[in-house]
């Protein structure tokens, strides 16, 4: 059984950020990742994808994203950056390592071996496992039903009638991509209307507004943030999208950031539908009882963390399956990284969180050594 001081489970941006920040403090971690290449998750995402956050505030500790990658970095360039980041810091990333369980205190088991460590950092993220609802009648639907994580390009759906289920950032952008790539008809099924904003407001990236406003109490700045969003989206009710069902500032998560969706919606090339009730042969029945024929469905229906299956002791998770604390007090040596979501951007938070985590881990290991 191999031994090391620190094991990090997950080699995406959060896991690499933690490893990089630890390296800057002279601490070495073994990073276990199930992928076959660093940045593979980004490389496999849909072709159109770019970061919604600006380059300057999307880098990881100790290495900025190269300026030539542009203000909004493409998913392929971001995948390249992650690989460059691991090489720059000399990180020990073990690829093709699917972690099956993490047991106190602390054994991390893969299909090949089990690692013993003083510290384990769980950085598998909020998007570890795709979630596909069990819609009634789904098995009778003749066309393909593709989860958003498996969607690559709208070219595969040219000339077809396609329904996108879910209007988060992935769903809205995929709907726009389908239109741009020649789908005959595109509808989007919405359960709860989200807050939507343009990528830049008054010429300023929306992320920078989020960073500035997050310094103040959410309920104090929410009226101002709402007025800013309405500058770009005040006409949405006439296209079927009502008032938002939640507030980004209060919920502490980003809104839907428009990168083409609103243009196609206003041109009536994207059609809003209610939530899906069930499937039939070649048709989808909506909550209001109407039904339409579709050739294919893209399910932008989100993800689960998979942490309940990963952790031998899932008591550290809340009812939604997320860590209740970054460093659970009753589990010394256990840390979570990459589960914080705010209006400032997940990669911005990953940088800051990784540096805090590295400081805490260093202090913890110093205490452990002093009492050994």
* The pLDDT of residue 346: 94
* The pLDDT of residue 368: 85
116: β partners: 3, 107
161: β partners: 185
* The pLDDT of residue 372: 63
* The pLDDT of residue 105: 84
Tokens representing 174 are 């995929």
From the list 118, 85, 240, the residue with the least C-alpha distance to 167 is 240
Neighbouring residues of 97: CB distance < 8 A, sequence distance ≥ 6: 32, 33, 34, 110, 111, 112
Q: Is it true that 3-128+305-371 and 131-299 share their CATH fold?
A: yes
Domain ranges of the chain: 3-128+305-371, 131-299
Low pLDDT (below 50) residues in the chain: none
Tokens representing 19 are 């490893």
Alpha-carbon torsion 270, 274, 278, 282, what sign?
negative
Q: Please give the CATH superfamily to which domain 3-128+305-371 belongs.
A: FAD/NAD(P)-binding domain (3.50.50.60)
> Is 201 buried (19+), middle (13-18) or exposed (0-12) by CB count in 10 A?
middle
> Per-residue b/e over 82-99, b at no fewer than 16 CB within 10 Å?
bbebbeebebbbeeebeb
Which helix H or strand E contains 201, and what residues bound it? strand 200-201
* The pLDDT of residue 267: 96
Residues of the chain by 3-state class (helix, strand, coil), percent to 5: 35, 25, 40
Fold adopted by 131-299: FAD/NAD(P)-binding domain (3.50.50)
pTM higher than 0.85 = yes
* The pLDDT of residue 369: 81
Query: What is the rounded distance in angstroms from the CA atom of residue 56 to the CA atom of residue 41?
Result: 22
């Amino acid at each position: 059984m191999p031994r090391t001081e620190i094991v990090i489970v997950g080699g995406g941006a959060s896991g690499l950020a933690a490893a990089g920040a630890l390296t800057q403090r002279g601490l070495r971690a073994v990073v276990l990742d199930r992928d076959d290449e660093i940045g593979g998750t980004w490389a496999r995402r849909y072709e159109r994808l770019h970061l919604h956050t600006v380059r300057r505030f999307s880098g990881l500790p100790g290495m900025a994203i190269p300026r030539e990658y542009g203000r909004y970095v493409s998913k392929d360039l971001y995948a390249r950056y992650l690989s460059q980041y691991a090489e720059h810091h000399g990180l020990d990333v073990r690829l093709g390592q699917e972690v099956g369980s993490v047991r106190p205190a602390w054994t991390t088991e893969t299909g090949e071996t089990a690692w013993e460590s003083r510290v384990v950092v769980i950085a598998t993220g909020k998007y570890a496992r795709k979630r596909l609802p069990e819609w009634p009648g789904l098995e009778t639907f003749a066309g393909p039903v593709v989860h958003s994580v498996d969607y690559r390009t709208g070219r595969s759906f040219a000339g077809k009638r396609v329904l996108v289920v879910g209007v988060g950032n992935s769903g809205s952008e995929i709907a726009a991509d389908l239109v741009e790539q020649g789908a005959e008809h595109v509808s989007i099924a919405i359960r709860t209307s989200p807050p939507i904003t343009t990528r830049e407001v008054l010429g300023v990236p929306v992320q920078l507004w989020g960073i500035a406003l997050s310094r103040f109490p959410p309920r104090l700045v929410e009226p101002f943030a709402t007025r800013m969003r309405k500058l770009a989206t005040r006409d949405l009710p006439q296209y079927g999208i009502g008032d938002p069902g939640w507030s980004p500032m209060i919920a502490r998560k980003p809104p839907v950031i428009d990168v083409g969706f609103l243009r196609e919606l206003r041109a009536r090339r994207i059609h809003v539908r209610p939530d899906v009730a069930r499937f039939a042969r070649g048709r989808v029945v909506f909550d209001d009882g109407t039904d339409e024929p579709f050739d294919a469905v893209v399910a932008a229906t989100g993800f689960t963390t998979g942490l309940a299956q990963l952790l031998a002791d899932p008591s550290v998770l809340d009812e939604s399956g997320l860590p209740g604390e970054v460093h659970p007090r009753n589990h010394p040596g256990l840390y979570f990284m990459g589960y914080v979501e705010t209006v400032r951007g997940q990669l911005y938070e990953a940088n800051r969180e990784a540096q805090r985590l590295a400081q805490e881990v260093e202090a913890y290991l110093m205490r452990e050594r002093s009492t050994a």
